[in-house]
Every structure is written in structure tokens, then in C-alpha cells.
Structure 1
Amino acid sequence: MSAKQILLASLILEQHCGDIVARIGKNILNKGFTTLSSIALDTGFSKNKIRKALCQLIQHNLVKCQKNQRGFITYTGQLSNIFAIMYYPRFIQKAKMLFGDVAELIVEQLLLHGWMTMTSVVTRVTQRLHDPQAEASVAINEYQVSEQFANMASMHLLQHSTLESIDPSKAPPNESEKYQLPRAYTPTVSASHRRKASFNNDKISIDFQDSDIFWQVNIQQFNVHLVDEIIVDGTRNCIDEIASKVMDVMCKMTNVDRSCFSDKTKRLGFYEIAENLSHQEMSEGDLLSWLSILEQEKGGFVTKQSDSSGGLYAINIKNILHALSLACIESIIKENLGAKSFRIFNCLRMKGYLEQQQRCFIGYCVLTYKTDKNPIEDFCMIPSKEAKELVYKLVEENFVNLLEVPRSADYAPSRTLYLFGVNVPQVCRMLLDKIYTILANIKIRQCEESKQETRLLEKSERLEGTISSLQSQGFDEDSQAVKDIREMMTDYEKERLVRLENIVKKCDHGEMQVTETLFVFSQFVILT
């Protein structure tokens, strides 16, 4: 856990939980394992205030508590879960894509509260859907909401709270028990007998007799779905739309039983894949061709593991993430260091460790253009002096490793080989470190800009609240009262608000792009 990771984590906590929780969370991350008394001594907060903050952190699974060998309760930070906060909007969007608006609200409630009972979730979501002040009030009952909840649990997107008991003698729950619905919920029974519920215009209530069963969002399973999106999009960019459809079907057939730490999916039979692709009107011959193409693409997007029953195929997740990570690295090198540095990097990656004097290193610039006739090879030599400067620049930026191999025990330069090579996982870790700094800087800039305009933002909110109140009383936008209130904001203040809005938009857009790269690199590093 680096200092840059801790800084970013504390900024995320400050943005979503407030300053006190952020300072306590940062203290826990710095210490690794710490106690309540130690936190109070380091931060200067009262124990009562620290307990409230710890309850919030534990409820959202951002901090874990356990009893050590001496009998003290210790707290440790869950760094990966803190970073997952950046992907909450994508989790909500994914739930909506898979199951619709109801699932979106279910995930939103669970992410907002950390963990809740099924009864509480269904009640709150149903009330939201029947809110007369909502922009799009939907006529849906609690039975339909609970069905969507059950569907998401069956896909392992929701699970029982992983809040562990501090008693080490208590056995952890089995994997299958994490997704079991309350006993009072029985899908085979009709809606009128399966639950005690009443619904009318004034009251919504439902009881699954689950006061001791708490649910939370399964972050790891949502990560699996986000990896599937990356796989499908990467296949579409590397090959074409039809290949991405084949990959999409294979991902959907394996994502329920797959862990986010798996480098390959389970094996799928050829006829299983063909059956699930029947709605795409793809013949078995065409499917076999596309699977062969996927098998040959960049080290093998798909691996054929057996020839029995038409063939058994598995998606090679590690190879795909390696190809996508490498594409990001190459883009960064080409953008920051130029095309020649990019060519040298690719040469070292493909050839392995090379000496500086080797011709294939100094003069590498082979560009192959595939045409209908014959390949055209364009050799563009890089002068030796320029190549030396470029390779040491790549070493300085940590894109290339310099390995010293002594021929004698005295490490004399004249009797030492200097080899240059590329370690892609190591480059990803180096770029991840930079990404943490970039995200931290974005959040700091956004926070500082908002603080400078605090009074202006408060004034704008007060005026907008007054205008909304007038509009609810029947005043339209063209009424004199509304115009008078809008004129209370000067042109200079309006310009400052527009400037702040543009800065915030740029920060949000930049953060969204950087987090996508962060996700690709981090998933690849996990698998290596």
C-alpha cells in the first residue's frame, strides 16, 4: 500500500463521507492494523465520534474489524473497496442494463446504505417508484420489486453482508449461503400467500421475516461484468462486431460462476455456444470459423482445450487484458516519447533482452502493411546515437528495464553485459502509481475550485430555491418576480459560475477516462 494509494483513498472518503471519516480512514490505512485507542491518540477525536465513523466505514465494508491474539479489537482498511467507490455509477448503470429501472434503484439503495434487509430495500424502492413528486412515477408493486431482487441474487450481484464476526470460533458462511433468499420468500407460492404485505396510496409495507439477514452489493461480481464489457469492446475493436457477439455470449454463459481473479473462464462446449447463438442466425460452420479467428488473435483471445464434442473452448481473460494493457502502454509511449521510442519498445518486447549494439535493436523500424497482393515492408533505420538516447529515455521513464550481467566478480564495465528488456506487468504497476497521482490531483483541483466559489454557490442555490418556490405557486419563467430574482446574480458572478461549471465538467470527464485505464491495468496486475 503506497502513499499515493492512501492519499487517493482519503480523498475519495472525504468526497463521499466527509472530513472526519476521511481522517480516521486515512489513519487506519497508514497504520495497517490499529485500535480505537490508537486512532483517538493519533487524530485527537473523541472515542464517541470515532465509533460513529467506524460504524459508517464498517457498514460500507470499507474497514474490517477483528480480534487479535491478545484479545483487542483491531481495524484494517479495505483499500480495494474504497477504490470501488469510483465505479459505483458504472455498477448502477450495469444493473439497469441487465434488469431495468427497478434493479437500478435496488443497487442505488444498497450502495447508499452499505447493507440492508430485503424488506427494507423492497419497501424503499417501491415507495420511490410510487412517489407522486418523482419525474417518472411507475405503477409497480412490491412483489415485482422482490422478483427483481431475487433475479439479481441469483446472478450473484447481491449477497449477504460479509461483515465477519469478531469471534474467531464462529465458522464463516458457505459460498452457497451468501445468495439464499429469506425463508419467507418462496417464489413458487402465489403473491397473496408468500408474504405479509399491504399496499395502498398511503402505506407500503412488506415483511419477509428477515430481520437478521442483511444484503450488500457484490463488488467482485460487478467487476466480473465490467471485465466482460472490456472483453467484448476489445474484441469489437480488434476484430469486428460478429466476433464480439460470439465473445458476448461466451461471457454471459460463464460470468455467474467466475471469480474476478480467474485468468480463464470455464470450458464451454461448441454445441452449447452454438445453441446460445441460435438467435443470431449463425451457422455452426461460421461459428467454427469465428472461434478459430479468436483463437489466433494476439496470443489467443479464446483457447481450445479439447476436441471432444465439437471442441471445448475457454476465454483467456489474461491474454485479452494483456493485449488491452499493452495497447494503452503503446499509446502512452507514442504520445509522450514519440514514434521512434514506440518502435524501440515494441522491438524489445518482441525480441526479449537485447544488447545496445545489436543491429535488430538499433535499426528496428519494420512496418508491415497487409494488402491483397504482397506484404510491403518499410525499413526506417534509427541512427545508433539517436537509438541510444531514446532507449535510455525509456529506461529513465521505467518503460524499459536495464539488466547488468557481469562476466567477472568485480563488475567491471568492460566485462559486463548491459541488456535492455520490457516487463509489461511491471510497466503496468508503474503506470498505476502515476494514475493514482493523476486522480488525486484531479480531486484536489476540483475541491479547491469549489471552495474558492463557496459563497457564490450558496447564493446561486438560495436564488434557485426561491425561484422553484415561486414556480410551485404558479409563477412562470417570464413573470416579473422570477426575472427580478434572476437579476440579483450579476454578469460577473454568472461568468464565474460558468467557469466553475466548465472546470468541474473537465475534471469529471478526465476522471472517468483515467478510471477506465485504471480498471484495465489493475485487473491485469491482479491476474499476474
Structure 2
Amino acid sequence: MTDTNTANLCEQIIRTDFGPLTGTVVKVLLHHGRLPLSQIIRYTKLKARTVRACILVLVQHNVLWHAESEIDGEVLEVNVEECLLRMRYGRYVWQAEQLFGKAAAEIVQLLLDHGKLRPPDIVSQLSVYDPVKGTTLYSQALHKLVDSFYLKPSTVLSHISPVDKRIKYEKEEKTKISGFPTAKQLREAKETAEARLRREEEEAEKIGMKRKAKDHSNHHKSKRKALDENTVDDDVFFRVNCDKFNIHLRNKVIADAATERYNSYAGLVLRATLKATEAKQLSLFDPRSDPTSFADVATHIAEDEDLAGGFVLSSSKKPSHMSLLKEYYGILAAADNPTPAGRAGSFISINGSKVQVEYELIGRRLKRRVLETVARERHGDDAVRIIRLLLDTGKMDEKQISKIGMMAPKDVRPLLTAMSAESLVSIQEVPKTADRNPTRTFYLWYVDLQKAYSVLLVSLYKTLYNIACRRQAEEEEPSVKAVLEKRQRSDVSQDEERLLTRNEREIIAQWEKKREKLTVLQARVEEAVFILRDFKAVGSDEQ
């Protein structure tokens, strides 16, 4: 089961993509949790044949998990994360076209439309209009996508809920502990179970490529050698690897943060640094990038880019390209502030001639910025001052916050109460006596980052749901709906200027303007969701 706002958003996404019947099935599973087929039919009040068809569609698109229950047998559960990722499918297609061309974008689009397909089916559907050249073109594009991990094989593990297996592995690790387990041992058992589950998934996803031996002979017949070549396995079903595409979104957010903090040239240097290690970036769990050299980064910066434009040079002599690059790295690494505060505000770390991008530090800082932005919008600058004070100092009582924050006590109490109601700050009771008398109890305020991020994420899901409802309401307005239906006619679509009246063209222009604003708003909210949810390198100990 999931919270109401997340369930509403997932239901709205599925209803838009697959229709009302499939949305009803997902709604039942979201609000009741995992259920067997018989209970799904009972709660949806649909025909068994219809429910089975909806479940087949959802399983094909990786939206439903299977699980084995000792009481109910096989049960079904909604993969909420996979459902929410469907909002980014347009970006994935665009990213594939930017990286590998139009043919790769068509392959990604086809897989997103069908969930999972085998390579012969992909090539045959896309090359139907040009069987000769199209087969070679799409086969090469498919090989690039699979070899670069933008497509991954669909295995049995990808259809089974990982929750049960994670619980099983944790239980096995806990049985190895002798005596009463400590908090550290429990945490290590959980981490071991997570690593074991992740290792199984990685091993299962290595079946996509196979080795094919080819003999190449030169003019001497006696000299032959067999060279191994990777080919795509035609018997494996492939699906889109969303994590690999999310890496590009993460890199864009990081580069934009450097541009916003310093200037466009610093963002350019950081973007080139990420580009240099892009092929090795396979997971969002990495705390930092692989080390790369300054010379390698310099090759990813265009020759016509003048890095000197980001500095105010005192002399007329222009420094070399490598000298300017080192200066930017010094700024991004906060070399002029070798303190814990400077380290926390850096983007990279330098070790000799090698440089690494610190994903964990950047992610933690971006999450805090989202929290402070929400607090400022809802409660003003004083709320941000209190949050920063509590994060830097730790637990404090009301009088200490008022004194150190230089705020009137009459302003601090209602502000803390309002922020506590929204989980932006939390309170810790420390009783002086065993009877827990309120008059003899200390009340300490602090910021529980995990709790605050979770509440903010649910609030952002609610915002995305409201945006989708607003867009649907705008489209279903009678005047707009009538004009859009007329616009879809074949004769009108070929000559809109002549067959649409002036009033109808104005209605369409207004509707397109509203749709554009809603799309921009959705993109901004989705970026905040990405920062809070998908920066997985950040651990739970963010205090």
C-alpha cells in the first residue's frame, strides 16, 4: 500500500496511458496492497477476462510485480517507481536521439510502447518500409544501445517483488549473529542483504550479449586467428534501462547547479568532466565518479570555447587552456577554503592530476536547497534561518533558537509550530522525571531530514497530480474540446488557416499557451522530485 497522493498520481498515469479499466485495476492494488487475482476481480467488479487482460498489459510494461504468499499463493503488487518513471519517457527518447541518432530513438520509443521485445521483433517492426537498409541500420543501433547498457534484458527477477527476497536475505544474515544483535550488526546485515540482491540482479542482466567467434584470415592461409565479437542475443527480451537514462538527468542537474553558483564556463568544465567518465557511469548509487585526468577532460571541451571569458584577467597575456582548466578545478574543489564547510560546498575532489565529481556531496546539498526553498515559500526567510541553525548546531530548545537566531520569542513559537505541522522540523521530548510531566520536560527542536524529504516528496506528487488534472480539465472544456476535435479532421489539419475561423484559432492559441505553462511547471516539479528521490548515492545518515 502507498499513500493517497502517490496512489492518485500512479492511477492517473496508468489511466492516461492504458485506459480506465487498467486504471481501475491499479487503483485497487494501490489502495489495498498486494492481492491475488480472485480478490482483484472482486474489488474491481469487472469481468475476470477483462482483469486478466489488464494484468497481462501491466506485467508486459513492468508495472506489476509477482510475489508468492504462503496464504494466498501468487499475488500481484504495483511497482510504484516504475509507474512514476513513465513521466520521463519523452526525455529518454530525446536523450537516445542525441546520443545515438534517430534510429536509436525509434528503438527506445518502440520498447517504451511495448514494454519489452526481442531483437528480431524490434528490427522487423521498424524496418518494414526498408527491409534491406533498415535491417542493418536498426541492428547496429540496437547493438549500440545494448552494449552501452541503455537497454537491459528482462529477467525473472525483474518481475518478482524484491521486498520478499530482501526480507529473506536479511533474516538469513541475522541468524548468523550470535547473542543479542547491536544496531551496527543489524545495519550491516541489511547492507549485506541489499548488496546480495543487487549482485543477483547484475548477474541476471548479463545475458543480453553473447560471444560469437569469427575467423579472419590474411594472405597466408597458415596464419588464422579467431576473434571474439559481441552480438545481441536474439532470444532475450529487452527493456529500457531507466537508471542509465537517469544518469544523464543527474549530470544535467549537477552541471546546472555549477552554472547557477559560478558561471556558464564553470558549468561547461563540470559538464566536460562528467562527459569524460560517462561510459563508466552505470549506477546512481555511486558516491563519486571514476577518476579522470585533466588532459582527458580537455578533449571534451570544444576548441572554440574560450574559458578565459569566465575570469577577469589582470594582465593582457592570455593563459593557456590547461592553466584555465586548473583554475576552474580549484574553484569547483573549493581549494581556497580547506575547511569542513568548504569541503561540503565543493563539486569535485582533486588527487594529483586526477579529478572526481562528488555525487554524494552535491546531492546532499541540492536536497537541502529544495527543503530551504519550500520553507521560504511557505513561511518566509525566518524559517530558513531556523532550519540552517538547527542543521548546523543540532537539537536546541525554543529559547536557544530565539537567542542565537536573534528572533523575538513571540515569533519563534508559532513559526516552529507551523513548520512542525508540515514535518519541516521535529521535536524531541527529554523528561526530567519518570512521570514525564510536561512541566518537567525539555522540548528540543531538530530537523529530521529523512522525514522532511519524504513529506516533501509526497507533496510534490500531489502537485504533479493536480497539474495533470488541470491539463485534462482545460482540454475537456466544451469550447476547447469542440475545436480540438475539429482540428483532428484530415481536411482541417491540412489547411487550418482557411478552414478554422479566427475565433477557433484564438481558442487553440490560448489552450496551447496554457498547456505550455503547465508543461514547464511540471518539468520544474519533476526536477525537484528527481533530486529528492533519485540521488541514491546519499545515505540515510544525512544529519
Query: Which TM-score bucket, shorter chain as reference?
Result: 0.7 to 0.9
Residue matched to 2:334:
293
Residue matched to 1:145:
138
Could you tell me whether the CA contact under 8 Å between 2:334 and 2:345 is conserved in 1?
no
1:175 aligns with 2:203: yes
Deviations 1:320-341 (A, max 9, x none): 1121122222222222212222
Secondary structure in structure 2 of the residue aligned to 1:398? coil
Residue matched to 1:63:
64
Q: Which of 226, 243, 252 is equivalent to 2:249?
A: 226
More deviation, 423-432/140-149: 140-149
Q: Which of 234, 252, 259 is equivalent to 1:236?
A: 259
Residue 498 to residue 64, structure 1, CA distance change in 2 (3 Å):
same
1:523 is aligned with what amino acid? D
Q: CA deviation at 1:239?
A: 3.1
**How many residue pairs align between the two structures?**
463
Secondary structure in structure 1 of the residue aligned to 2:399? coil
Q: CA deviation at 1:278?
A: 4.0
Residue 285 to residue 414, structure 1, CA distance change in 2 (3 Å):
same
Residue 104 to residue 444, structure 1, CA distance change in 2 (3 Å):
same
Aligned equivalents of 1:184, 1:18: Cα separation in 2 = 44
1:341 aligns with 2:376: no
Secondary structure in structure 2 of the residue aligned to 1:293? coil
Q: CA deviation at 1:293?
A: 2.7
Residue matched to 1:424:
449
Secondary structure in structure 2 of the residue aligned to 1:175? helix
More deviation, 70-79/252-261: 252-261
Residue 460 to residue 276, structure 1, CA distance change in 2 (3 Å):
closer
Aligned equivalents of 1:188, 1:459: Cα separation in 2 = 64
2:248 is aligned with what amino acid? H
Could you tell me whether the CA contact under 8 Å between 1:263 and 1:316 is conserved in 2?
no
Q: CA deviation at 1:343?
A: 1.9
Aligned equivalents of 2:387, 2:421: Cα separation in 1 = 13
Residue matched to 2:489:
465
Aligned equivalents of 1:364, 1:90: Cα separation in 2 = 46
Residue matched to 1:399:
424
Q: What TM-score do the two structures reach when normalised by structure 1? A: 0.76
Residue matched to 2:153:
160
Aligned equivalents of 2:205, 2:533: Cα separation in 1 = 29
1:385 aligns with 2:426: no
Aligned equivalents of 1:334, 1:61: Cα separation in 2 = 39
More deviation, 248-257/71-80: 248-257
The answer for unaligned runs of 5 or more in structure 2 is: 162-198, 218-230, 302-320
Aligned equivalents of 1:42, 1:385: Cα separation in 2 = 52
Residue 385 to residue 185, structure 1, CA distance change in 2 (3 Å):
farther
Secondary structure in structure 2 of the residue aligned to 1:64? strand
1:7 aligns with 2:28: no
Residue 465 to residue 387, structure 1, CA distance change in 2 (3 Å):
same
Residue matched to 1:327:
369
Aligned equivalents of 2:399, 2:355: Cα separation in 1 = 44
The answer for unaligned runs of 5 or more in structure 1 is: 132-138, 190-207, 366-380
Could you tell me whether the CA contact under 8 Å between 2:259 and 2:267 is conserved in 1?
yes
Aligned equivalents of 1:119, 1:86: Cα separation in 2 = 28
More deviation, 15-24/507-516: 507-516
Q: CA deviation at 1:21?
A: 0.7
Secondary structure in structure 2 of the residue aligned to 1:282? helix
Aligned equivalents of 2:12, 2:333: Cα separation in 1 = 47
Q: How does 1:180-195 map to 2 (within 5 A)?
A: 180-181=208-209
Q: Which of 474, 487, 500 is equivalent to 1:486?
A: 500
Q: CA deviation at 1:20?
A: 0.6
Residue 395 to residue 504, structure 1, CA distance change in 2 (3 Å):
same
Could you tell me whether the CA contact under 8 Å between 1:66 and 1:165 is conserved in 2?
no
Q: CA deviation at 1:275?
A: 2.7
Residue 46 to residue 240, structure 1, CA distance change in 2 (3 Å):
same
Aligned equivalents of 1:187, 1:87: Cα separation in 2 = 44
Aligned equivalents of 1:42, 1:229: Cα separation in 2 = 44
1:318 aligns with 2:360: yes
Q: Which of 515, 521, 525 is equivalent to 2:526?
A: 515
Aligned equivalents of 1:457, 1:187: Cα separation in 2 = 63
Could you tell me whether the CA contact under 8 Å between 1:395 and 1:401 is conserved in 2?
yes
Residue matched to 1:274:
295
Residue 311 to residue 209, structure 1, CA distance change in 2 (3 Å):
closer
Q: CA deviation at 1:450?
A: 3.0
Aligned equivalents of 2:201, 2:417: Cα separation in 1 = 54
Residue 33 to residue 237, structure 1, CA distance change in 2 (3 Å):
same
Q: CA deviation at 1:399?
A: 1.4
Could you tell me whether the CA contact under 8 Å between 2:154 and 2:205 is conserved in 1?
no
Deviations 1:117-137 (A, max 9, x none): 223323444457x69xxxxxx
Deviations 1:222-269 (A, max 9, x none): 122211221222122223344434433443454444454515135415
1:447 aligns with 2:458: no
1:97 is aligned with what amino acid? Q
2:526 is aligned with what amino acid? T
Residue 401 to residue 445, structure 1, CA distance change in 2 (3 Å):
same
Residue 166 to residue 436, structure 1, CA distance change in 2 (3 Å):
closer
Q: CA deviation at 1:76?
A: 1.5
More deviation, 330-339/69-78: 69-78
Q: CA deviation at 1:144?
A: 3.0
Q: How does 1:70-109 map to 2 (within 5 A)?
A: 72-109=73-110
Q: CA deviation at 1:94?
A: 1.6
Deviations 1:33-76 (A, max 9, x none): 22221111111212221121111111111112244457933211
Secondary structure in structure 1 of the residue aligned to 2:97? helix
Secondary structure in structure 2 of the residue aligned to 1:357? helix
Residue 460 to residue 273, structure 1, CA distance change in 2 (3 Å):
same
Could you tell me whether the CA contact under 8 Å between 1:161 and 1:214 is conserved in 2?
yes
Q: Which of 448, 461, 464 is equivalent to 1:436?
A: 461
More deviation, 173-182/239-248: 173-182
2:475 is aligned with what amino acid? S
Residue 66 to residue 335, structure 1, CA distance change in 2 (3 Å):
closer
Could you tell me whether the CA contact under 8 Å between 1:96 and 1:104 is conserved in 2?
yes
Aligned equivalents of 1:188, 1:514: Cα separation in 2 = 55
Residue 124 to residue 343, structure 1, CA distance change in 2 (3 Å):
same
1:362 aligns with 2:355: no
